[in-house]
Structure 1
Amino acid sequence: MKKVTLTLIKHKTIKQIAFKFQYDTEIKEYIKKLPHINWSKTHGVFYIPYTKENINLSAKHLKNSPWNIQNNLPKNDLFLINLTQEQLLDIQKFKRWLTQKRLSDNTVNTYTNVVTYFIKYCHSKNTTLYTNHMIESFNYDFIVKENKSISYQNQCINGIKKFLQYKNINLDTLQIVRPKKEKKLPTVLSLDEVKLILNNINNLKHKALIALIYSAGLRIGEAINLKITDIDSKRMLICVENSKGKKDRYTLLSPLFLVLVRQYYSVYKPKIFLFEGADGNKYSPTSAQKILSNAVRKTSISKKVTLHTLRHSFATHLLESGTDLRYIQELLGHGSPKTTMIYTHVSNKQLSQIKNPFDSL
C-alpha cells in the first residue's frame, strides 16, 4: 500500500508539517488541494505551517484517502498550546519590562520565548501557580530530557528568574543548579580558508558584509547595527557603539576592506546603517548566515562555519601574527582577559615550534 508520512521539519527556521511519500502523481495532486500548501526544494517535500488547525485539517483531508497514513508529528507539543489573551498580554508586558532594563534584543527575545514555553508548560499541567516544583519539572522535561545545550539551559534559568522578578514572586528555595558550561575550543579558519570563502561570494554587498565581520572581528549584531558614520577612514578605525556589556569600543579598519566598502557604497548608497535590507532597515542576521553558508558550501571546507567563526579566526590570526593579548581583548570588547585567553589554545604558532618526540625515534 502507498504510504504518506506526516512529520515535523524546520523550513527557513519555522516549524512546518511535511508530507513525505514516494513520487506518485495521484498523491501529489491530492496533497496540493490543501490550503497554503508549498513545495520545498531543500527538503524535497510539500509542507504547510505547523499549527493545531493545520494538523487537524491534514488529518481530516487524508482520513478518507486509500493510502497508509503515518503520523510522526510530536505528541503534546508545547508549541501547539494556545494561551489566553490575558497570558499573551502578560508576556508582552514582560517583554517591554525587559526592554526597559536595556537588555540586548537577543536576550529579550530568548527570555520572552522561554517564558512563553514555561507558561504553556504550566498550562498543560492545568496550573497557573509558578512553584519550585513546576520550575524544576519544566527544567527537566523541556531542557534536560530534550538534551538541549548547557548554554541554553542557563539562559532558560535566567529568563524564568527574570520573569519571577517581574511578577514579584520570591522563590528563595529554588533548587535548580546551574550546570557548568562546556569548555569547547572555537572553530578557526586558516587565512587561505577565509580567502576561499570570500572568493566564492560574487555579490558585492554580501562580500563586503562578510569581509567586515572578519576584518574587524565583529559579532553579527555589531555588524548589522553599524552606521555609515561609524567608519572613521582618517584614523582607520571602526567605532562599535553599545556592544555587549553596554560598552563602546574601537576596532581596526582594514585598508583593503576600506577599498571594498567604498565600492559597495558607491553602488548601493545606504542611508543610515552601513548594511541595509531591501526595506531600508537593518540587515537580517539570518540572511548574513545564509550568505556565509552558501559560500562555504561552494568550497572544500568541512568545518562547521558560522558568522562567529570569522570573529574567532580574526582573533587567532592576530595572536599568531604577534599581537599582544591585551590589544586583542580591547579589539574584541572582552570584559575579562580570561575570555581572550582561549585563543592561546587554538593558535598554532607556539604549538608548531614544539618538537614532537616521535620525530626523534
Structure 2
Amino acid sequence: MLNLLLCLKKSKTIAERAFSDVKDFSHLQTKLEQSFSINGKAKSTLNNYLRCLAHLALHYNRSPEKLSVEHVQNYLYHCQKLHKTPSESFFKHTIFGLRAAYKVMGMEAKRVLLPQIKRDIKLPCVLNKEEVKRLLKAPKYLKHRLIIGMLYGCGLRSYELCAVKLSDLDFERKTVFIPKKKGK
C-alpha cells in the first residue's frame, strides 16, 4: 500500500513530464500562459492545449515549434487514425493548441498549413407549446419544475443555474442576471 501511495505521489501529469523531459517545452508553455493571461482566455482551455501539445512533444521528444510540417502531419494522422482511443476533441485541441503555439511564437506560415476543423452546424430542436407544457408539468415537485423552466426558458447551462442567487432575480422586470461565464 505504501508503494502505491509513493507511486501516486511521484506520478506527473503529461504536461509536467513534457516540461521536465522535452527541451524548450517550458519556453513554449510560458509564452502560451502569458498570451492566455493577457488576452483573458480561460485557464481550462490553456490546460487542454498544453496537455495535447505535451503529448506531441513527448511523441517526438521535441517541442512542437521545432517540428517540421511533415512531423506534425504524421502525428495528426496518428491521432486521427492509429491512436488506440481516437477522440475528436483531442484531435481538435491538438490543432487549436498548435495554432495558439505558432501564433505566440510568430510562426504564421506553419499556422496556415494546419487543417481546418469543420463544425457540424445542427439546428436546435425547438419544442412546440404542448411539448413545453408537458415538460414543465412532468416533475412532481415545484423545485424541479422551476429548474427545468429556468434551464429551458432562459437557455442556461447547468453550472450557470447552480450559481444563480436570489439577488440575481428581478421579479418586477421578470429578468435573471447571469454573470459572465463561457464566452463572456
1:211, CA displacement in angstroms?
Answer: 4.5
What is the root-mean-square deviation of aligned Cα atoms in Å?
4.2
TM-score by length of 1: 0.37
Q: What is aligned with 1:168?
A: 106
Q: What is aligned with 1:219?
A: 157
Change (3 A) 1:226 1:110: same
1:137 aligns with 2:81: no
1:112 aligns with 2:47: yes
Q: Distance in 2 between matches of 1:169 and 1:110?
A: 21
Q: Secondary structure at the match of 2:177?
A: strand
Change (3 A) 1:210 1:82: farther
Task: Indicate if the aligned counterparts of 1:94 and 1:166 stay in contact, CA closer than 8 A.
Answer: yes
5+ long unaligned stretches in structure 2: none
1:141, CA displacement in angstroms?
Answer: 2.0
1:235, CA displacement in angstroms?
Answer: 0.6
- Letter in structure 2 aligned against 1:182: D
> Relative contact order (alpha carbons < 8 A, sep ≥ 6): 1 or 2 greater?
2
Q: Distance in 2 between matches of 1:81 and 1:143?
A: 24
1:169, CA displacement in angstroms?
Answer: 2.7
Q: What is aligned with 2:167?
A: 229
1:178 aligns with 2:116: yes
Change (3 A) 1:117 1:214: same
Q: Secondary structure at the match of 1:83?
A: helix
Task: Indicate if the aligned counterparts of 1:52 and 1:80 stay in contact, CA closer than 8 A.
Answer: no
1:237, CA displacement in angstroms?
Answer: 0.8
Q: State the identity as a percent.
A: 18
1:155, CA displacement in angstroms?
Answer: 4.5
Change (3 A) 1:98 1:173: closer
**1:310-331 Cα shifts (integer Å, max 9, x gaps):** xxxxxxxxxxxxxxxxxxxxxx
Task: Indicate if the aligned counterparts of 2:98 and 2:111 stay in contact, CA closer than 8 A.
Answer: no
Task: Indicate if the aligned counterparts of 1:94 and 1:163 stay in contact, CA closer than 8 A.
Answer: yes
Q: Which has the higher strand share?
A: 1
Change (3 A) 1:241 1:33: closer
- Letter in structure 2 aligned against 1:123: L
Q: Which has the higher helix share?
A: 2
Q: What is aligned with 2:56?
A: 121
Change (3 A) 1:88 1:232: farther
Q: Distance in 2 between matches of 1:96 and 1:211?
A: 41
Change (3 A) 1:193 1:92: farther
1:148 aligns with 2:83: no
Q: Distance in 2 between matches of 1:211 and 1:92?
A: 44
Task: Indicate if the aligned counterparts of 1:222 and 1:240 stay in contact, CA closer than 8 A.
Answer: yes
Q: Secondary structure at the match of 2:119?
A: coil
1:125, CA displacement in angstroms?
Answer: 1.2
**1:306-353 Cα shifts (integer Å, max 9, x gaps):** xxxxxxxxxxxxxxxxxxxxxxxxxxxxxxxxxxxxxxxxxxxxxxxx
Point out the structure with max Rg over C-alpha.
1
Task: Indicate if the aligned counterparts of 1:136 and 1:175 stay in contact, CA closer than 8 A.
Answer: no
TM-score by length of 2: 0.63
